[in-house]
Chain A
Amino acid sequence: MRRQVPLIITFFIGALLVISVFIPPMVSLKETFTLYFDIIAVFAFFLGGGNLLRVHLGKLYGKKQDWGFSLVTVAGFAMMLIVGLFKIGNPGGIAASITAEGSLFQKLFEYIMVPLGSTMYALLAFFVASASYRAFRAKNREATILLIGAFIILLGRTPFGMMLTSWIPEQLSILQIPNLAIWIMNGPNLAGQRAIMIGIGLGVVSMSIRILLGIERSYLGEDK
């Protein structure tokens, strides 16, 4: 029951979606089952929220280390959820978009989520620079090729690259750094990315077949 039912569900739904590609009358069935998937995806969001609450409320009750910050998480979660689920301060009422102009939910997004989310990633600019200084060494032939590639792209994607090589005549303009950068992207980069893509593509296909046939069962957890 614990293992057979999930394997049957996986095979049934997966096979149905594969077959529907080849049998047009099954389109409606494909749409419906995919829509089920989309609805279950929202329950996965709820699961994520529930799990977050469980972890942080556990820290709060147990007064574990840094429990004060767990309080911040729970408070932020509760505030956004109440404003979102009850559409508090929504100018258009219940039927209007939750992100309508002037809604409290949209304001919280703009002034809390945007600065937090984008600054978190902006930090990486500093770390990339630090890594460039400390770790980007031309230690061997391969590393040197990587370094030269990166250099051409870094220069070529700014006007500075053109300034440096604008003296090269039009007939040989492929040697101008921005054009060289374009060529690298359309030539070697495309080839390398395509080799990776074909490899990953084959991997995804074979893994999908293994899952559908019940050979790959790791997603069900350990056998008990």
Chain B
Amino acid sequence: MSRTMIILLALVAIVFAVSWAAKSASLDDQYDDYISRGFLITLAAFLTLSILSFLYKDNPFYKFAEHLFVGVSAAYWMSLGFWSTIVGNLIPRLSVTLSAFFKVPHIEDEYALYILPDKVSYFIPVVLGILLLMRLSKKAGWISSWPLAFIVGTTAGLNLVRYLRSDFIEQVSSTFVPLLVDWQGTGRFFSDFNLYAYGQFVTMLGNWVIFIGVLCGLVYFFFSKEHKGIFGGASRVGIWVLMITFGASFGYTVMGRISLLVGRLTFLFHDWLELIG
């Protein structure tokens, strides 16, 4: 470890200790556990700044935070999965004794698989789950393809019908919108160029854009025919529509990322430094 690093570590440790003491003092009259709360807020601020330090360049503080995040996240998901689904769904169906131990109500035997009682049939996912864990073994890793096949088959079976209905049939049906309106005179047609009044022209223009836009967008994605002539023209319009779409997505992405930064800086200025009320 270089000398500069040691000095930096010492400085960070001092700032951390000062912040902990100051934060605890400021929380003294609000909470009983003000010392641990002061520590946790300081820790959160330290971790936030460690990640932000990456903006200057990659450094040990960032690496520390990054590695901590990976470890903590994995354990978080495992713990939640264990308590919510293993204890919440599996154990009540498998064992009275274990249900009593975990204080979850036992579920009376049902025969979801007709001939097998749940008490027995729910060993199927347990066995498949254990086989999945065999992936960690070099010799018996191949057998994990059985539960993997179950996962892939379930996902394919679920998606096949749902995507066909919601993302294909419904979308095609929603694209067939009225392209002409009842003519009620020029005044009515051209009045109300605003989004709230839905004047006839605005509505019709919107419907044309949707109909032509979807059609041309699909033409652009159709690669079995060369993009020439009318087909090429439609494909070109498709690109323009897609470019506006990507522009909108970019605008929204910027908005989202800024919001996250505002959230973190608000934490630093409000919760940690108490600069704002």
Interface residues of A, Cβ cutoff 8 Å to B: 2, 5-7, 9-18, 21, 28-29, 31-52, 54, 56, 66, 69-70, 72-81, 83-85, 87, 93-95, 98-99, 105, 107-126, 128, 132, 142-143, 145-154, 157, 170-175, 179, 182-202, 204-205, 207-209, 211-212, 219-221
Contacts and interface: CB of A to CB of B under 8 A. Distances in A.
Task: For the complex of A and B, list the 4 residue pairs with the smallest distance between their C-beta atoms, beginning with the closest.
Answer: A149-B247, A191-B213, A84-B79, A195-B217
B242 A195 contact: yes
A205 B160 contact: yes
Nearest to B51: A119
A39 B51 contact: no
A152 B250 CA distance: 11
B75 interface: yes
Contacts of B211: 191
Contacts of A151: 247, 251
Given A14-B153, A85-B79, A204-B159, A38 B243 contact: no
Contacts of A34: 154, 158
Contacts of A2: 142, 145
Q: Determine the interface band of chain B, counting residues with CB < 8 A from chain A.
A: 35 or more
Interface of B: 40-41, 43-45, 47-48, 51-52, 54-55, 63-83, 85-86, 89-90, 102-104, 112-113, 121-122, 124-126, 128-130, 132-133, 135-136, 142, 145-154, 156-161, 163-164, 166-168, 171-172, 174-175, 191-196, 202, 205-206, 209-214, 216-218, 220-221, 238-255, 257-258, 260-261, 263-264, 267
Contacts of A132: 254
